[in-house]
Structure 1
Amino acid sequence: MSAVLDVMTAQAMVVLQDRPVVALTPWLAAALEECAGSGRALQIVTSPSSRLSMPLKLAGPAAQWVVRDGDGYYEGLTGRPLRWDGGAFSPVPDARDYAPGYLTPPSGPLGAQLTLTYRARHTRHSVLGGQLERLFTMLTGRPPAGWGPAEPVAHPWQRSELTSHVRERGNAAVRLVVVGAGGGRSALAVAEFSQGGTLEVTTLTVGHPPADPPPVAHLPALVESLVAEHPVASLLAQLSPGRADATYEPRWTGAPAPLGMAVAGERPGPPGIPARPAGSGQTPMTWFELGDGRSPEGWRRHRELLRHLTS
């Protein structure tokens, strides 16, 4: 068993994890499913020296990271002070600042994490995983190593087997972890398929050490190369300071900010947001420049762009 069930209440399932990296193990994946069915929160308690894997970080609002720091507790991803109220860990009502442990320096040097989130439509006969395979190869030099519903992944990378797994579940939503094969860059993805595998929403994160910055200037060309064979409806690129191994510490390391967004079709953008073609032929795309990946001003442009596209 990879976790210890410490407390079960009507509000929460509390598990203790004492390990350097806490991942989305089969035990925790099953606990998340149980919590979703019962309306409980899954509260994972660790020490300040633990890190969270990218798939567990994206596990959804039902999963909460609670850090035990001395005699107090705080939320690992936000620094919000917490207390035990008898039924669950909840925010300290009169807290006006981050928990002190959240403001301590990172344990090692920070690089950058490039995160791409794309949406794609497939037919009932499509072989799934083409977009993921192409992006992994372009960004890490190698195709994915494997996939599975939890960490460590149980299956070597085979698009046909992944497709069968998704289709066997009918219209039920399927959430899968995809891992990279190394090559000097850590890469992990969380792929969500629904509607019988015809709708895909995937988030891919690639870690870059300080000496290997992300290929920000080449993103429009990357999108054009991707959609030439594997179309997407949209793709959002953002950058954040972070560990090159794509794990997360329970302390402040900097906020993510958008770089740009690609949208299917040839579309004009709102004033002040540069646009350029990022596709050709049967797969026209438009790339909108949103920022440098460092300024929160990019999120204002992102909201403005979404309003423009949906108006």
Structure 2
Amino acid sequence: MSGPAADALTPNAMVILQDRPVVAFTKWLADGLRLCSETRRGLQIVTGPDSRITVPLRLVLTGPKTHWVVRADGGYYDGLSGVPLVWDGSAFVPDPRARTYAPAYTAPPSEPVGAQLTVTFRVRHTSDTAIGAAAEQVCAALTGEPPGGWGIAEPATDVWRREQLSELFWSRGAGATWLTIVGGGGRPAVGTLLVSKVGEAIEEAVTLVVGYADPREVPVATLSAQLGGIAAGRHLISLFAQLTNGRADLTTVPRWLGPPGPIGMAVGGAAPGPPGIPAQRIGDAQSPAVWYVLGDGRQQEGWQRYEQLTRHLQGGF
């Protein structure tokens, strides 16, 4: 069994110590995650309380038994959820005795907090030359520039050229291909792109996170207009936009900074929404879609509208 060197490798987990200010999803960690997936282990990254992690690493730390393990106050907790953790002999697991979040997780931040706009969407098309076009369009709409680089891990060292994304995808036999992307404009933007083949079509699942030092700069009111073009000329399956408190440089701290709030959701087609949820057409006649307004990213009532909308679209109204 080949893979990166781990600080502890058990039947349940690969444990890797990372004592550095910012931990990225490097090629080394990507190899570790692949091994964990193949052997049904959890990837567990152990850091100190002052470490931060990047967007791609945060997005992959979601599997079973997978944790960002933070050392603090003589114990451990999950840096993304605040749940206290203990070592059970083969992996870090939630502490069954805990009744509240770890104190270090709920401690107030010691520096100003900005905002992070997250846009997650899925599109489907039949042209291999279109791979990466939707991500390019959304990045340009939100930052003023297309992505500056891409890679199979971090750092994303390859200059953004969409034809290279297609070449990589087909060189792997059209197998699922996961990539990192970074913005090229003045505003920080980092994301991930998963390309896969579905029948005769190509599907792309994209998450792009954009950072704002001043939360008032987030274009909540004009977001539907900025993102509306993504539906034109391709099949938009779904899109969801939400706002979260966070550092403008897009790293994540192991602290509670407040809950995310929804802004809007778009789906392909022309399905009417339920009463009380504003909707507007986006896309074009050949590829229509609808944008539903859920909130301003700050009010938690937006989640109630989100649940109402999803029930309606699933036929449960």
Q: Find the counterpart in structure 2 of residue 78 from structure 1.
A: 81
3-state SS, counterpart of residue 28 of structure 1: helix
Q: Specify every segment of 5 or more residues in structure 1 that has no aligned partner in the other structure, as ranges.
A: none
Q: Which residue number corresponds to residue 230 of structure 2?
A: 226
1:8 equivalent to 2:9? Answer: yes
Equivalent residue, structure 2, for 1:245: 249
- Residue 256 (structure 1) aligns with: 260
State the partner residue of 2:162: 159
Which structure 2 residues correspond to residues 32-47 of structure 1 after superposition, within 5 A?
32-47=33-48
Of residues 122-131 and 99-108 in structure 1, the stretch that sits farther from structure 2 once superposed is 122-131
Q: Is the 8 A contact 2:146 2:185 kept in 1?
A: no
Report what 1:89 is aligned to: 92
2:127 and 2:90 mapped to 1: Cα distance? 45
Task: Report the CA distance shift for 1:79/1:4 in structure 2 as closer, same or farther (over 3 A).
Answer: farther
Structure 1 residue 115 and structure 2 residue 118: aligned? yes
- Give the whole-Å Cα distance in 2 for the aligned partners of 1:193 and 1:233: 14
TM-score (norm 2): 0.92
2:177 alignment counterpart: 174
Q: Counterpart of 1:273?
A: 277
**Contact 1:189 1:203 (C-alpha < 8 Å) held by counterparts:** yes
- SS of the counterpart of 2:57? helix
Shift in Å at residue 212 of structure 1?
5.5
Does 2:205 correspond to 1:204? no
Superposed CA deviations along residues 121-159 of structure 1, whole A, max 9, x for unmatched, are 021534311111111111111111111110001311000
CA distance in 1, matches of 2:127, 2:215: 43
More deviation in 72-81 or 164-173?
Answer: 164-173
Tell me how far apart the structure 2 counterparts of residues 102 and 27 of structure 1 sit (CA, whole Å): 28
Q: TM-score, normalised by structure 1?
A: 0.94
Distance 1:256 1:172 in 2: 33
> Structure 1's 160 and 171: CA in aligned 2 closer, same or farther, altered over 3 A?
closer
Which of 126, 134, 137 is the aligned partner of 2:137? 134
Q: Distance in 2 between matches of 1:215 and 1:131?
A: 19
Q: Is the 8 A contact 2:129 2:162 kept in 1?
A: no
Displacement after TM superposition at 1:233 (Å): 2.4
Does structure 2 conserve the Cα–Cα contact (< 8 Å) formed by 1:130 and 1:230?
Answer: no
Aligned to 2:303: 299
Computed over aligned residues only, the root mean square deviation of the Cα atoms, in angstroms, reads 1.8
* 3-state secondary structure, aligned to 2:280: strand
Equivalent position to 1:147, from 130, 150, 153: 150
Report the CA distance between 1:256 and its aligned residue. 1.1
Mapped pair 1:190 → 2:179: no
The 8 Å contact of residues 146 and 180 in structure 1, kept in 2 or not, is answered as yes
- What is the CA–CA distance in structure 2 between the aligned matches of 1:199 and 1:227, rounded to whole Å? 14
Counterparts of 2:224 and 2:50, CA distance in 1: 38
* Segment of structure 1 superposing worse, 78-87 or 280-289: 280-289
Distance in 1 separating the partners of 2:216 and 2:294: 22
Per mean C-alpha deviation after superposition, the further-off stretch among 113-122 and 189-198 is 189-198
Is the 8 Å Cα contact of residues 258 and 290 (structure 1) preserved in structure 2?
Answer: yes
Alpha-carbon distance between aligned partners in 1 of 2:232 and 2:97, rounded to the nearest angstrom: 54
Change (3 A) 1:82 1:149: same
Structure 2's unaligned 5+ residue stretches are none
1:17 is aligned to 18
Aligned length: 308
